[in-house]
A = this chain, B = another copy of it.
Amino acid sequence: MKAVVHVSLKSGVLDPQGKAVADTLARMGYSEVGSARVGKVIELDLTGAPDKSAAEARVKEMCEKLLANTVIESYRIELV
């Protein structure tokens, strides 16, 4: 099984990397770009075959403990 974790900054949290991307694109002539946000995707290969809900609970635990900083980031888990 594979888990895909999407980590993004909560809305309202400043995103300097996104701002740099948007500013640079504007400077390059892509005036249609209003703003940009940059997030992370972490793909985990899960070995063994636990059931889906158990796997999701484990991945949620990993997010809370390591993968996301829940003070400023939100995450979304997708199992495929």
Contact = CB atoms under 8 A, between A and B. Distances in A.
Interface size grouping (class) on chain A: 20 to 34
Q: How many copies does the complex hold?
A: 2
Interface string A20-31: 011011001010
A41 B39 contact: yes
Contact of A33 (B34, B37, B38, B45): B45
A33 B46 contact: yes
B38 A42 contact: yes
Nearest to A30: B62
14 contacts: A8-B41, A8-B43, A21-B67, A25-B66, A28-B62, A28-B65, A32-B47, A34-B47, A35-B44, A35-B45, A36-B42, A38-B41, A39-B40, A40-B41
